[in-house]
Structure 1
Amino acid sequence: MDIAVHMQCIIECSILIILINQQLLTMLITVTHKIDDVGMPNFRDTRN
């Protein structure tokens, strides 16, 4: 029984970590785009 509880905890923790990572990635992308809009030089600027 203990092993099953541990497995469930590990799975839940993994999902939580993935969600946190996705939010951090989204924040990073948003910040990068804001810097782009301010006019910092961007090596992959394809917008018109």
Structure 2
Amino acid sequence: MTTLQAIGVFAGIPVLVLLVIALPLYGGSWFRRLTRRGTGPDRSHPG
């Protein structure tokens, strides 16, 4: 593993985490549509 690859991995992990946190906050409307399609009836009808 080269130094650049190591930097890319360690820099990429927090970026991915931030994206996962930021997407539902900033794009909540379309993110909910995506999650409803992916999860099925359980989460779209919690009651």
TM-score scaled to structure 2, two decimals?
A: 0.50
Does residue 24 of structure 1 match 2:15? Answer: yes
- The structure that has the greater radius of gyration is 1
Query: How many residue pairs align between the two structures?
Result: 36
Deviating beyond 2 angstroms after TM superposition, the runs of 4 or more aligned structure 1 residues are 45-48
Unaligned runs of 5+ in 2: 37-42
RMSD: 2.3
TM-score (norm 1): 0.50
* Identical columns (%): 6
- Structure 1: runs of 5 or more not aligned: 1-9
